[in-house]
Amino acid sequence: MRLLNNLYVLTGPAFGTLSHVYAIKYSDGLVFIDAGMKDESLPQIEKHLAYWELAEEEVSHVLITHGHWDHAGLAAYYREKGALVAVHRADREIIENGRPPAGDPLQITWPPCRADIVLDGNGKLSIAELTFEVIHVPGHTPGSVIYRITLDGRDVWFIGDFLPPDGRPEHNHKHGWTGDIRFSSRDYIESFKKLARMQPDCVLAGHGYIRMDGCEDLFKQAYADILLAWPCR
Ligand SMILES: [Zn+2]
């Protein structure tokens, strides 16, 4: 599905798979945001790349929102084909190990992947004419980041699992959407505090929804929801 002139979603819930993979076309190739799962996502990605007359050999970068199997599972696959893989330093170890930390209840493994670009806190990431702002939002995992970029004049945010599928962060706590054993509700609330006044135009989640408009109060509302719902802060 094409979302903007050079922005595509290649797999995800709209196509019957678990997690979204987004692609941005630019002068030197394709930037993927997240990489999907090793078995489930690849057939969909290949099908949609072909439909849009794009090729996996064009994938120059894979920007990982956080180190979970359903977002980083195919990172090694694309790296072997020449893509550079970016991840925040706090989630570097988990993607390089290809497994969750010891003691995690979900012992799902995936192909380990070396990180080529290690993101350190907040900052900019430039890829030819594309400039991403990287916003560190620990909570779901210690190394969770949001990639923010202007495309077609719109302020587009790739948020990974910062919001759960139904968009209601208080459910993270109630329903165990903790991601892994490193989940921190305190960090999560601090991340929300940072974003509460932000008003992106488009919010593209790792699961659930793709919002191309109507995002003005999204983070403010979500922050209010968790302050009311979580007594543990
Ligand atoms: Zn996750």
pLDDT of 168: 63
Say if residue 233's pLDDT is above 60. Answer: no
Instruction: Give the mean model confidence (pLDDT) for residues 14-37.
Output: 94
To the question of pTM greater than 0.85 for the whole model, the response is yes
> 150 C-alpha vs ligand 1 centroid, how far in Å?
24
> 23 C-alpha vs ligand 1 centroid, how far in Å?
19
Q: What is the pLDDT of residues 112-125, one digit of tens each?
A: 999 999 999 889 99
> Hey, where are the domains in the chain?
2-229
> 66 C-alpha vs ligand 1 centroid, how far in Å?
7
Say if residue 164's pLDDT is above 80. Answer: no
pLDDT confidence of 176, banded at 50, 70, 90?
very low
Instruction: Give the mean model confidence (pLDDT) for residues 171-192.
Output: 73
* Residues 115, 95 contacting (CB under 8 angstroms): yes
> 27 C-alpha vs ligand 1 centroid, how far in Å?
30
Tell me which of 158 and 226 has the higher pLDDT. Answer: 158
> 93 C-alpha vs ligand 1 centroid, how far in Å?
15
pLDDT of 165: 67
> 56 C-alpha vs ligand 1 centroid, how far in Å?
24
Give the range among 14-18, 77-81, 123-127, 210-214 with minimum mean pLDDT.
Answer: 14-18
pLDDT of 175: 39
Instruction: Give the mean model confidence (pLDDT) for residues 13-18.
Output: 86
Angular region, 67: left φ>0, alpha ψ -120 to 50, beta rest: beta
When the pLDDT of each residue in the chain is averaged and rounded to a whole number, the result is 90
Cβ neighbors of 57 (< 8 A, separation 6 or more) are 81, 82
Say if residue 9's pLDDT is above 90. Answer: yes
Cβ neighbors of 36 (< 8 A, separation 6 or more) are 10, 11, 17, 19, 21, 42, 44, 45, 70, 71, 73, 74
Tokens representing 193 are 């505090």
Q: 2-229: which CATH topology?
A: Metallo-beta-lactamase; Chain A (3.60.15)
Torsion sign, CA atoms 43, 48, 53, 56: negative
Say if residue 150's pLDDT is above 80. Answer: yes
Share of the chain above pLDDT 90, in %: 66
pLDDT of 33: 98
> 58 C-alpha vs ligand 1 centroid, how far in Å?
26
Q: What is the pLDDT of residues 61-82, one digit of tens each?
A: 999 999 999 999 999 999 999 9
> 5 C-alpha vs ligand 1 centroid, how far in Å?
28
